[in-house]
Amino acid sequence: MYTLKPSFPLDFSVKPAPVMYTLPSYHEEEIAILNTNSNTNSLPSNVTVDYEIPEFIENEFIQKQAKLIKDICALKKNFDQLSSKFASKKSENIVSKETPNSKKNEKQEKEEKKEKKEKKEKKEKGLSGDKDVSAKSICKVFEYDTSAKDSAYIQKTDLKASNPYCLPPSLIKFKEQKNLPKKNITVELPASDSSWFDILVATAKKNNLPFDVKMTKSDKITFPKVSCEGIVAEGLVPVWKFLGSVLGIYSYESNVFSNTIDKFLNLFASQYNGQISDDTWRTIGIHLGTYDTLSVSSEYSLADIIVYGEFLKNNKVQSNNIEIWANRVKTLIQ
């Protein structure tokens, strides 16, 4: 109705806009102009309309009530007749089903159902037995089971103070793994790209995590490799998992969160040498529309750190979910 400027002086006057109602003390001239220009049969403000309430006539009221009662009774009779007809049809159908021909049809239907169940079970067994999963199937299928409890996950002790999603960003913590070396670790990386390793080092420094790792770069190296005390891991995903377990943001013993982390690591490793596709970023955006992190937990894990490194390489503008997630991960690194 009124339009006010965001910064107005204290001694201001508001001029109301012309609206559809008419009042004698507002806009008399404007209303007269509107009435002359419009084709509506509007009455002047001084003219009053007398409306008389009709008198109550008892006989007419009684007649209307009687008519309504007759109509209701007629509807009830029609409804009873229809219900009786449907009941008789159902009884006839039941008798016809009990004939010997109907029994034969029932046997055939049961046999067909059994055959369909057996075919479905065979298909499910065949799918579960296949171990080789392509990168495209990983992009399309993401299923998360957050109902189970992770035996290797260390839950925060201060959750009663506030909702975990309202707390500042923090790294996920797992229990200390058995026979996992944490000192004298050497990493061999190609000279072309080692940005993800620099981000892991920055994460360790920012969060005061032990990370005794020596790195060597060479043009002769084609695949990343990590070794320590006779333990050797070669390839992007094995090296990521090994270094993530050293930092404590990944666990081989985890049965819930690490399964989700593995899916995202495999997804990005399959496209690491080239440019990450838009479908992959769309998958990340859809996931972050439901969860705050890539690990399905309220805390950030190895997958978040690695994917953040790929986010920095990408010059395209991403969705709001990814931008908000990246800003929160940034506080754990810089």
Count of other CB atoms within 10 angstroms of residue 304: 27
H-only helix segments in the chain: 28-37, 58-97, 100-129, 135-140, 195-206, 236-247, 257-269, 278-290, 302-313, 320-330
For residue 319, tell me if it sits in a domain. Answer: yes
SS3 category, 187: strand
For residue 301, tell me if it sits in a domain. Answer: yes
For residue 210, tell me if it sits in a domain. Answer: yes
The token pair that represents 326 in the structure block: 């990246």
- Enclosing domain of residue 228: 164-330
The per-residue pLDDT string of the chain (334 residues; one tens digit each, 9 = 90 and over) reads 455 565 656 666 767 666 665 555 555 565 566 666 554 555 555 555 565 666 778 888 888 889 999 999 999 998 988 888 888 876 666 655 555 555 556 767 777 777 777 777 766 655 445 444 444 444 344 444 444 577 778 776 555 555 656 778 889 888 888 878 878 888 998 887 778 899 999 999 999 998 888 888 888 888 888 988 888 888 889 999 999 998 989 988 887 888 889 999 999 888 887 788 889 999 999 999 888 899 888 889 999 999 998 888 887 788 888 999 999 999 999 8
For residue 36, tell me if it sits in a domain. Answer: no
* Burial of 140 from C-beta contacts in 10 A (0-12 / 13-18 / 19+): exposed
Count of other CB atoms within 10 angstroms of residue 202: 14
For residue 215, tell me if it sits in a domain. Answer: yes
For residue 54, tell me if it sits in a domain. Answer: no
* Burial of 164 from C-beta contacts in 10 A (0-12 / 13-18 / 19+): middle
Residue 274 sits in a domain whose CATH number is: 1.20.1050.130
For residue 72, tell me if it sits in a domain. Answer: no
SS3 category, 120: helix
* Burial of 238 from C-beta contacts in 10 A (0-12 / 13-18 / 19+): middle
Question: Could you give the dihedral angle defined by the CA atoms of residues 271, 301, 309 and 326, in that order, rounded to the nearest 10 degrees?
Answer: 110
Q: What is the pTM of this model?
A: 0.55
Number of folded domains that form the chain: 1
For residue 294, tell me if it sits in a domain. Answer: yes
